[in-house]
Amino acid sequence: MQIWTGQSYPLGATFDGSGTNFALFSEVAERVELCLIDDGAERRVEVTEVDAFVWHVYLPAVQPGQRYGYRVHGPYEPEAGHRCDPSKLLLDPYAKAIAGMASNHQSLFSYSFEDPEQRSTEDSAEHTMHSVVVSPFFDWGNDHPPAHEYHDTVIYEAHVKGLTMRHPDIDDNIRGTYVAMGHPSIIEHLTELGVTAIELMPVHQFVQDGHLVEKGLRNYWGYNTIGFFAPHNEYSYAGDRGQQVQEFKQMVKNLHEAGIEVILDVVYNHTAEGNQMGPTLCFRGIDNTAYYRLVEDDRAYYYDTTGTGNSLLMRTPHVLQLIMDSLRYWVTDMHVDGFRFDLASTLARELHEVDRLSSFFDIIQQDPVISQVKLIAEPWDLGEGGYQVGGFPPLWSEWNGRYRDTVRDFHRSEPDMLGDFTSRLAGSSDLYQHTGRTPIASINFVTAHDGFTLRDLVSYNDRHNQANGEDGQDGESHNRSWNSGVEGPSEDEEVRALRLRRAKNLMATLLVSQGVPMILHGDEMGRTQGGNNNTYCQDNEISWMVWELETDQMEMLWFTQKMIALRTEHPIFRRRRFLQGIVRDDADSTLPDVEWIGTDGTPMTAEDWDSAQNKCLVVFLNGSAIPEPNLRGQRLVDDSALLLFNASGNAVDFTLPPADHGERWKVVLGTGDTVEVGTTFTGDETISRPSHSLLVLMRPPMDVAEDPSADERNEQPARA
């Protein structure tokens, strides 16, 4: 085999059409061996060239599909933070594909299971994962990003396997894969639903946790990353010798063709190597002190703000380079449209506290590629001061945990919620406006992968996580849920009707709120996890979506489709600037852009706001007072809307505002069985609304003959 000098950049294994360049950073290494793996046989190539701590070599004979790894020789001094161990075959941090899955074998650990004080130098090659050389070439055709404006975006959080594993129109052999995610049946469902972006739960290569496998469980969610450049190999249909890269690209291409953006849930805050008792798979054995935060006064231990055992060291330029190179690769080579950063507060920690001006944010801000895609933070971690909702820089949007909690509490009739509820409904200006941000800073959600599904939120008071093997003690105990009178499944028709109505209320609220809505996959069809609110280890029917629907589920799907369509058709529900509650000089209206109205049809009084037991509200959204122009500079004018919320346990009479707000109002969508879609009401007229209900009215009214969309909107099941 010919061995050439190679180059120190780019890092990783780069196939150029003739051969492959290998480059690995390690400041602590004293010697590095590149190991080529073929049918279990290992050939070691001494890497002798090193520039600026990057070890590099070029091998003309190496082609795509070649498995490889590294052995790094250097100090093993845990008390000083160094854990080099050449008996461990290590993954390339820049591997574009990874083959196999690590076991919980003794050879992966540098200490003895029987006596942790004793070294173990058993070779790990047969029990670990292997990096794979991939071909960078792919026919993207005329692929281009859909580039939906943020305020026009509806996000659908989904799991590659969970969404596709039980779909009846997808062949058994491709279910649960990238091929299935790009299948016409899945794309048809997404387009008919009306979402514009799919946010995939982790697809970076992750590791199956040994303690879960021993209990017969698996890491389903995937928040256990080991390869920041590699698509997870278990979601590949054709194999793990690089095919996963091609399949992922084809999935993205198919979704883009349907106008759907792809956002990745990424885990850059920690790795799968865990704490000092974890396996040596990659970073730990390459340069432990450069990659991980260590306890300052005892560097044998890891400083952990994630609850997973370790945290990446964001102060070092090589960690920052790794993350930025990874992000840029997924945008430029894999054509993804954005990222949701798990436990993003950890990324902001330069020393101890969360610093919104940390190096990570500075680099993101000036990067011409990454700064132009959608950037979403999960704005908290487990460290001190880690809850940072509203604290991220202007370029970022955030999962709005305040929105989730407030909307849940309001719709389960908690007292004294009206003021906070209206703030969330209006885009949470109290959280974001002070930093110059707009409503798109708020990613609004009621449910997400972590917690109850929407159906379970209205069906369970308590978590039911016994299947997780932790005596039901794992997961969140305070869910802000209400079971509607009976815990779990019920055949009582009144209970079932109430649950459906409440689920619709929550979905409708999400879709009429200013900001960016995010829907959890399956919520549109009433998916249940049987009350399990922490399905991180349930890679089975508990988590997988069921596509055979009962009547109530079909009605929920219909309702969600219509609510998304309503939001899409009317910019009044997706404004680019915050509502101000004032009469605007630049509007053709003498009414404010938003008005909060009581059940008597008059503006809310201080007494109304201060009443802890007030659980009803009318919201007037003035379609003639939208100040921001569209992208062509044209001033927007829309129908006006009235939103009637009754979160109480009693029927309530609502008097509509006087005629100056609108002489005639037409029912567009609602929950409850007292008013049919298409019914019109006049100003000052009274409408009786049942408990736990919502009604959306629009003006000006249109005759069915004049409105082509009205016929479709009137095709509603018996319940409004």
Instruction: For residue 607, indicate whether it is catalytic.
Output: no
Please tell me which residue in 234, 342, 381, 639 is annotated as part of the active site: 342
- Using only C-alpha atoms, the chain has a radius of gyration, in whole angstroms, of 27
- Residue 70 token pair: 């590294």
**Residues 6 or more apart from 277 whose CB is under 8 A from it?**
109, 111, 116
Instruction: For residue 342, indicate whether it is catalytic.
Output: yes
Rounded Cα–Cα distance for residues 124 and 105 (Å):
8
Rounded Cα–Cα distance for residues 140 and 328 (Å):
17
Q: Which helix (H) or strand (E) holds 443?
A: strand 442-444
- Report the SS3 class of residue 530: coil
Q: Which residues pair with 603 in a beta bridge?
A: 597
- Report the SS3 class of residue 103: coil
Q: Residue 505 phi/psi, 5° resolution? A: -55, -45
Rounded Cα–Cα distance for residues 215 and 277 (Å):
19
Q: CA-based diameter of the chain, in Å?
A: 88
Rounded Cα–Cα distance for residues 235 and 255 (Å):
17
Please state the length of the chain.
720
Could you give the count of Cα atoms lying within 13 Å of 152 in the half-sphere of its Cβ? 11
- Residue 612 token pair: 């802890």
* CA-wise closest residue to 23 among 249, 322, 329: 322
* CA-wise closest residue to 257 among 145, 339, 152, 139: 145
Query: Could you check whether the bond before residue 184 is cis, i.e. omega within 30 degrees of 0?
Result: no
Please tell me which residue in 33, 85, 273, 378 is annotated as part of the active site: 378
Asked if residues 615 and 418 have their Cβ atoms less than 8 Å apart, the reply is yes
Residue 439 Cα distances to 566, 596, 712, angstroms: 19, 19, 30
User: Scanning the structure block, which residue is given the tokens 């480059």?
Assistant: 23
- Residue 367 token pair: 């990067």
Rounded Cα–Cα distance for residues 583 and 676 (Å):
33
Asked if residues 140 and 335 have their Cβ atoms less than 8 Å apart, the reply is yes
Q: What positions carry a catalytic annotation?
A: 342, 378
